[in-house]
Amino acid sequence: MKIMKFGGTSVGKPERMHQVSQLITKNSEPTIVVLSALSGTTNSLVGISDALAKLDKQGAISIIDTLEKHYRSFILDLLQSEELRAKANAIIDEHFEFLKITQRISLSDALNKDILAQGELMSTKLFSLYLEQEKIEHALIPALEFMRLDANEEPDLMVIREKLNLILAAHPTKKLFITQGYICRNAKGEVDNLKRGGSDYTASLIAAAVKASVCEIWTDIDGMHNNDPRVVDKTIAIEQLSFDEAAELAYFGAKILHPTCIWPAQQENIPVKLLNTMEPSAAGTVIKKEAGTVGVKAVAAKDGIIAVKIKSSRMLLAYGFLRKIFEVFEKYKTPIDMITTSEVAVSVTIDSDLHLAEIVAELSNIASVEIDKEQTIVTIVGNEIAQTASVLKKLFDAIDEVPVTMVSYGGSSHNISLLLPSTYKTKTLQLINRGLFNL
């Protein structure tokens, strides 16, 4: 079994759906296709919920109307026969009637999740009609019947595996399955989702559930690049990454892949390929157990970082001090990204200020605390870079003029992270592109 996931832009136009249909019928291996909502739809659905939350009915209605017009004209290009267009219009009727009804009920968390689910439900149903038109045998399998969260709001891989295998077994002659990315049910059985950009996660979870041969993520760029193309002039696609390297890059800013999507594939050792719908023959990036070549592979940056600098002379020769600090962050469910220590001080970074005030208040009982906001983590990823001769020298020569505030090195053999004021991000990425990648 093979998994192929297509993002919003890959299904965002009728001609793209045509391309997708060609890509998914090329191979003879049984395939599960995971689709996002048409590009822009989830943003509009978020807009509808936001308007409803502000009791701005007019605002919500106007977004709903614009979106509905988009779908009505989309299907005219997608489908040729009156019969299929009528079926498509009935699908659009059903989902937009639901969106219009939401105006008359008060917005709850559960209703909000239901609103957000409409995009993937529509994209897959319309794509299924397109496959019907092209006489491509397939089965549409509803993600809401097998994608499950547990009581901790984490995907429940055991349940997903059990339910999905039952559904697949019910279609013994089918070789092509279509399902929704992003949406799922929670432990209470309500409609929920895997958070924005979560379709990649769906694909990886399904791949792990059925122990697929490969999990292909199709987007509109030719793989993961060595640097941010919006910031530097020249970037190159990376051929191969290990799961750990990819997770590091995805978490620290590479937008192409959702960071959570690595672990399910890694757990079952399933290669993840990042491929380009516009250029299907390009090699893309493969993510697997082995890292491939040794050396520096990529740099990524994550903004919105807050540095918490904790200093206490009581830390001198004391044990248990770090534990006390970590307990404060744990209590407020705030993950720490980077950490550096000296004998009397610890600096950590966090990416959310949700509980910052409480954290600072508690830490102040045991130490003096300073906060630096608007920081950026620049992380350099590669295979065995900690052991690669002169990487550190080259790096610091290249960024000589940047006021680096924290350095984390040696925590793993594939990563060096720097903290710097966000105003220096662009400059730093450009200097590293020249100094470490010779681009």
Binding residues vs ligand ASP (CB under 6 A)? 7-8, 36-37, 42, 119, 181-182, 196-199
Find the shortest distance in angstroms from Cβ 135 to ligand ASP.
28
Considering CB distances under 5 to 8 angstroms, the limit depending on partner class, which of Mg ion, ligand ASP, none binds residue 235?
none
Find the shortest distance in angstroms from Cβ 7 to Mg ion.
4
Nearer to ligand ASP, 181 or 382 (CB): 181
Instruction: Say whether 277 sits in a helix, a strand or coil.
Output: coil
Find the shortest distance in angstroms from Cβ 42 to Mg ion.
9
Binding-site member from 7, 155, 181, 284 for Mg ion (CB under 5 A) = 7
Nearer to Mg ion, 5 or 148 (CB): 5
Site for Mg ion (CB under 5 A): how many residues? 2
Q: What whole-number distance in Å separates Cα of residue 310 and Cα of residue 367?
A: 6
Burial degree of 418 (CB within 10 A; 0-12, 13-18, 19+): buried
The residues, any chain, with a CB within 8 Å of residue 144's CB and separated by 6 or more, are: 117, 180, 183, 184, 185, 191
Nearer to Mg ion, 102 or 180 (CB): 180
Judge contact between 124 and 180, C-beta under 8 A: yes
Nearer to Mg ion, 7 or 271 (CB): 7
Considering CB distances under 5 to 8 angstroms, the limit depending on partner class, which of Mg ion, ligand ASP, none binds residue 37?
ligand ASP
Any contact of residue 12 with Mg ion (CB under 5 A)? no
Element (H, E) at 6: strand 2-6
* Nearest Cα to Cα of residue 417 among 256, 254, 302: 302
Considering CB distances under 5 to 8 angstroms, the limit depending on partner class, which of Mg ion, ligand ASP, none binds residue 182?
ligand ASP
Nearer to ligand ASP, 40 or 292 (CB): 40
The residues, any chain, with a CB within 8 Å of residue 327's CB and separated by 6 or more, are: none
| Residue with the two structure tokens 């092509």 | 176
- Count the neighbouring beta carbons within 10 Å of the beta carbon of residue 275: 24
Find the shortest distance in angstroms from Cβ 140 to Mg ion.
21
The residues, any chain, with a CB within 8 Å of residue 36's CB and separated by 6 or more, are: 5, 6, 7, 8, 10, 11, 42, 119, 120, 123, 181, 182, 199
> Between 372 and 391, how does the x/- string for binding to Mg ion read (CB under 5 A)?
--------------------
Nearer to Mg ion, 13 or 311 (CB): 13
Question: Which residues in 194-253 contact Mg ion (CB under 5 A)?
Answer: 197
Burial degree of 211 (CB within 10 A; 0-12, 13-18, 19+): exposed
Residues that bind Mg ion (CB under 5 A): 7, 197
